[in-house]
Each structure stands twice: as structure tokens, then as C-alpha cells.
């Protein structure tokens, strides 16, 4: 299951490390920037996180409790229509 989250502006590397540890503790396998190397600073605060289905609720509750997380939401299912 994939989630998107936004870190508050001004978060330190220590804050990000704390978030990454909390995500790993809840079964997250991958946490990566949604827009790596984006020139716009606000885009560098958005992340994509892969979490196993069985630990998704625990993950959401855990990261919502961190002051640096502005929001966390399940990735929307999208379908591309052609022609």
C-alpha cells in the first residue's frame, strides 16, 4: 500500500531521521521523495512511502503523531484513459 506525506517546512535532518525510523518501525519498506531533485523547495517536502497492508493503520497513526508531518494520505488509485 502506498502513502503520500508532507513534511513541514523547516524540518531538520534529525526530524526526517525520526520520521524514517517511525516509518520503518511500522513496516514501511521504502520512503522516498515524491519529486527527487525538484527545483521548487516545497516539492522536496513530499514523500512516497510503501507500507504492508497489515501495518498501514499503525503507520498512519504513528506518523500523524509526529509534529513535522503536515499530512499523510493513501495514494489515490488513478486510471489513465487513452483516446
pLDDT digits (tens, 9 = 90+) for 2-52: 999 999 988 898 998 999 998 999 888 888 999 988 898 889 899 999 998
pTM given for the model:
0.82
pLDDT of the residue at 53: 85
Beta carbons within 10 angstroms of residue 67's beta carbon: 9
pLDDT digits (tens, 9 = 90+) for 39-54: 988 898 999 999 988 8
Superfamily of the domain at 2-74: Ribosomal protein S6/Translation elongation factor EF1B (3.30.70.60)
Position 79 scores a pLDDT of 80
Enumerate the domain spans of the chain: 2-74
Task: Report CA-CA distances (Å) from 57 to 11, 32, 33, 61.
Answer: 24, 20, 21, 6
Amino acid at each position: 500500500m502506498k502513502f503520500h506525506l508532507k513534511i513541514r517546512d523547516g524540518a531538520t535532518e534529525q526530524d526526517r531521521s525520526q520520521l524514517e525510523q517511525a516509518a520503518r518501525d511500522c513496516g514501511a519498506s521504502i520512503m522516498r521523495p515524491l519529486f527527487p531533485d525538484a527545483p521548487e523547495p516545497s516539492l522536496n517536502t513530499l514523500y512516497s512511502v510503501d507500507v504492508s497492508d497489515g501495518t498501514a493503520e499503525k503507520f498512519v497513526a504513528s506518523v500523524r503523531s509526529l509534529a513535522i508531518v503536515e499530512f499523510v494520505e493513501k495514494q489515490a488509485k488513478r486510471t489513465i484513459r487513452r483516446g
